[in-house]
Amino acid sequence: MSKQTHAFQAEVAQLLHLVTHSLYSNQEIFLRELISNASDACDKLRFEALNNTGLYEDAPDLQVRLSFDKTAKTLTITDNGIGMTAQEAIDHLGTIAKSGTKDFVSKLSGDQKSDAQLIGQFGVGFYSGFIVADKITVETRRAGATPAEGVRWISGGTGDFEVETIELPKRGTSVILHLREEALDYANTWKLKEIVGKYSDHISLPILMAKEEWQDGELIEPNNEEGGRQPGGMVKTGEWETINKASALWTRPKKDITDEQYADFYKQISRDFEAPLTWTHNRVEGSTEYTQLLYIPSKAPQDLWNRDKKAGIKLYVKRVFIMDDAEALMPSYLRFVKGVVDSADLPLNVSRELLQESRDVKAIREGCTKRVLSMLEDLAKHDKEPEAQDGVTDVLSEEDNAQLGQYSKFYAEFGAVLKEGLGEDFGNQARLSKLLRFASSTHDTVSVSFADYKARMKEGQDAIYYITADTMAAAKNSPQLEVFKKKGIEVLLMTDRVDEWALNFVNEFDGTPLQSVAKGAFDLGKLQDEEEKKAAEDAAETFKPVLAKLKEALKDKAEDVRVTSRLVDSPACLVVTDDGMSMQLARMLKQAGQSAPEVKPVLEVNPEHALVKKLDGSVHFHDLAHILFDQALLAEGGLPADPAAYVKRVNALLS
């Protein structure tokens, strides 16, 4: 192929402008990213060679090499991994990873420090080379291709790049950075070793540099691979030395690994700039042998709720990389977990299909799940709950929030996902129930566990009361809570979209039933004295004629109409039967485009309210009945079926 010029994808052009003009707050990350890419290329070769050993050609030992030439002002990162074809070079080096393009561009803020942290998170690590280079040359040949199928890619980091075919004897990729004047410090052995030690020491491949030598008391700095005297008077013998530990981090003893090394390894495998919240590193022995190194991130990724995105941990077999997102090794509700599993028992040619059927994989999955839950239980055990004054905890400021314990931080990011496990993992349902946290009618922060609630239950209370709603404001101000507030009975406030679904699988906690305050007939049992029960019965009897007229007027909207004592200040509320689908869940299903049964709620009226008393004998009975129903619907987050008719009725009465 003769030399061809191609335009960058629009987002790449925007990124390159940012890189070349702004991202100087942490320059050295470019080397971390390019070494990580080189390591990935070697992993891909190792995987493809499982079925085609000929791809190794005459170089079975995979490695990454760093070299520089001070005279030419270049720094070169070379790997003998999978390499690229001409089309792959055009696709991979001219386009940001498609899944991250929009997210990346939307996150750019113009702030140097925060924008620099985005490098590597969205598949844009290659372009970080332009932080220190005003031109990048890539020479690459795909494993298995002929020497004549080598490719040279060149760009000055502006609007386009050139691609041409060249003769390339060796497979793999060399990224040649033509350093800017202000970045010539990176053409320095000591500087490169320092950066590799800081960011890439955990890379399992050897990272090689030409060996330093001293002559006549002066340091002789190597600058290229050929050896001999070079322009600039430097001498090189051709010997190379490994400058990283070159062993998989998870294979080392825990006592030999620092917290900083654990955190750096997490950043490399997750492409996350922030340190993890916590991690666990264990070697599991028994019928199935494997090593696990699992991390819980400190922040949720933007695509946490993207069902189409593959999620999972990295799978290695006997330290050979097999796949990136081994979904079979971790349940879906723990999809935020990052890490590595290295199995001693799985076959090297294991596929995704075989993973689904393997007994060993099932054992690994169960072991990893239990280990993650143990980590979370440990975090929860040592979490600090905000102090309450007079039994009420106020909403915390940002400064106060920073003092929350680790589990509170985890739950704020991943609590909603964790709840999915209630319906997906029945074997661990009891453990998961203990990890859940909620706000309540007496605690504004999401810090109340079922166990906390149960410990505060009033004498005679025989259920854990809760309410689900679309928002916290809707939950806190729901009419269904009025009598509970009056009697000082705590109610859990559940506002995550997953709550309604998840609670279909949990009926009790530690022997105490869960009871929605918006389902079934009102019954506080021993918490309601005989006088109150007698008053409610008398009201129902007295109100029978009005109830009959209400039922007739609302027969198309309400399944039933009845008197209630759960209301104090409101005229009416809507509830559903004990075994019925809530109106909130029905709305959510419809919003998601799924079929949902038509829910006809029960209208409960407060006979002591002035508006309800006004019904008896009113010439506007029909309009008042419909207004009563529609207002109750609005109060619980719904909308009238015919908003215009509701407005018309209200206006008529007001005028």
Residue 328 phi/psi, 5-degree rounding, is -70, -15
Alpha carbon distance 139, 150 (integer Å) = 7
pLDDT: is 596 or 425 the higher one? 425
In this structure, of 2-11, 431-440, 492-501, 636-645, the range with the lowest mean pLDDT score is 2-11
Q: What is the 3-state secondary structure (H, E, C) of 119-145?
A: CCCCCCHHHHHHHCEEEEEEEEECCCC
Report if residue 53 sits inside a domain.
Answer: yes
Most confident of 51-55, 299-303, 613-617: 51-55
74 and 202 both lie in a single domain: yes
Question: pLDDT band at 151, cuts 50/70/90?
Answer: very high
In this structure, of 125-134, 423-432, 592-601, the range with the lowest mean pLDDT score is 592-601
Please count the other Cβ atoms lying within 10 Å of the Cβ belonging to residue 503.
19
- Mean pLDDT, the chain, integer: 83
Q: What is the pLDDT of residue 18?
A: 67
In this structure, of 51-60, 120-129, 394-403, 596-605, the range with the lowest mean pLDDT score is 394-403
509 and 587 both lie in a single domain: no
Helix, strand, or coil (residue 346) = coil
569 and 609 both lie in a single domain: yes
Helix, strand, or coil (residue 215) = strand
The answer to whether the beta carbons of residues 279 and 338 sit under 8 Å apart is: no
Cα angle 190-192-196, degrees, rounded to a multiple of 5: 120
238 and 253 both lie in a single domain: no
pLDDT at 165 over 90: yes
pLDDT: is 252 or 222 the higher one? 252
Alpha carbon distance 328, 326 (integer Å) = 5
Residue 54 CA neighbour count, 13 Å, CB half: 4
Report if residue 433 sits inside a domain.
Answer: yes
Q: What is the pLDDT of residue 238?
A: 67
The answer to whether the beta carbons of residues 275 and 263 sit under 8 Å apart is: yes
Q: What is the mean pLDDT of residues 165-187?
A: 95
Q: What is the mean pLDDT of residues 42-63?
A: 91
52 and 178 both lie in a single domain: yes
Amino acid at 518: A
Write out the two tokens for 582: 């809530």
Each residue's pLDDT tens digit, 341-395? 999 888 766 766 667 778 888 999 999 999 999 999 999 988 765 555 454 545 5
Each residue's pLDDT tens digit, 509-568? 999 999 988 887 777 777 777 777 777 778 778 888 889 999 999 998 998 998 888 888
Residue 618 phi/psi, 5-degree rounding, is -75, 140
Each residue's pLDDT tens digit, 239-274? 899 998 877 889 889 998 999 989 988 987 887 888
Residue ranges making up the domain that contains 539: 527-654
Report if residue 387 sits inside a domain.
Answer: no
pLDDT at 73 over 80: yes
Alpha carbon distance 317, 349 (integer Å) = 9
195 and 150 both lie in a single domain: yes
- End position of a domain, from candidates 176, 208, 242: 242
Q: What is the pLDDT of residue 91?
A: 84
Instruction: Encode burial over 476-493: b for 16+ CB neighbours within 10 A, e otherwise.
Output: bebbbbbbbeeeebbbbb
566 and 488 both lie in a single domain: no
- Single out the residue of 319, 577, 301, 499 nearest to residue 414, CA to CA: 301
* Residue 583 belongs to domain with CATH number: 1.20.120.790
What percent of the chain has pLDDT above 70? 83
Alpha helices (H) along 527-596: 530-542, 544-553, 583-591
Cβ-Cβ contacts under 8 Å for 402 (sequence gap 6 or more): none
Sign of the torsion formed by the C-alpha atoms of 528, 534, 535 and 538: positive
CA 203 to each of CA 63, 64, 156, 317: distance values in angstroms, whole numbers, following the listed order: 10, 10, 29, 16
15 and 98 both lie in a single domain: yes
Each residue's pLDDT tens digit, 184-214? 999 999 999 988 887 787 788 899 999 876 5
- Torsion angle of alpha carbons 396, 398, 400, 404, nearest 10°? 90
Report if residue 419 sits inside a domain.
Answer: yes
The answer to whether the beta carbons of residues 512 and 462 sit under 8 Å apart is: yes
Q: What is the pLDDT of residue 144?
A: 94
Q: What is the pLDDT of residue 219?
A: 54
- End position of a domain, from candidates 242, 268, 298: 242
59 and 35 both lie in a single domain: yes
pLDDT: is 182 or 383 the higher one? 182
469 and 604 both lie in a single domain: no
Alpha carbon distance 365, 373 (integer Å) = 12
* Residue 14 belongs to domain with CATH number: 3.30.565.10
* Residue 357 belongs to domain with CATH number: 3.30.230.80
550 and 579 both lie in a single domain: yes
pLDDT at 614 over 90: no
Each residue's pLDDT tens digit, 123-148? 457 888 888 999 999 999 999 999 99
pLDDT at 122 over 50: no
Instruction: Encode burial over 336-369: b for 16+ CB neighbours within 10 A, e otherwise.
Output: bbbbbbbbebbeeebeeeebeebebbebbbebbb
Report if residue 464 sits inside a domain.
Answer: yes
Report if residue 160 sits inside a domain.
Answer: yes
CA 487 to each of CA 36, 529, 566: distance values in angstroms, whole numbers, following the listed order: 61, 11, 11
The answer to whether the beta carbons of residues 248 and 316 sit under 8 Å apart is: yes
Residue whose token pair is 């209370």: 461
Q: What is the mean pLDDT of residues 433-438?
A: 96
Domain count of the fold of the chain: 4
pLDDT at 230 over 50: no
pLDDT at 178 over 90: yes
Report if residue 567 sits inside a domain.
Answer: yes
482 and 578 both lie in a single domain: no
- Single out the residue of 283, 290, 298 nearest to residue 345, CA to CA: 290
Residue whose token pair is 């700039």: 273
The answer to whether the beta carbons of residues 18 and 115 sit under 8 Å apart is: yes
In this structure, of 11-15, 59-63, 64-68, 378-382, the range with the lowest mean pLDDT score is 11-15
- End position of a domain, from candidates 225, 242, 259: 242
The backbone region for 144, taken as left when phi is positive above 0, alpha when psi lies in -120 to 50, beta otherwise, is left
In this structure, of 28-42, 56-70, 119-133, the range with the lowest mean pLDDT score is 119-133
Report if residue 214 sits inside a domain.
Answer: yes
Q: What is the pLDDT of residue 585?
A: 74
* Residue 503 belongs to domain with CATH number: 3.40.50.11260
425: enclosing H helix or E strand: none
Q: What pTM value is reported for the model? A: 0.69
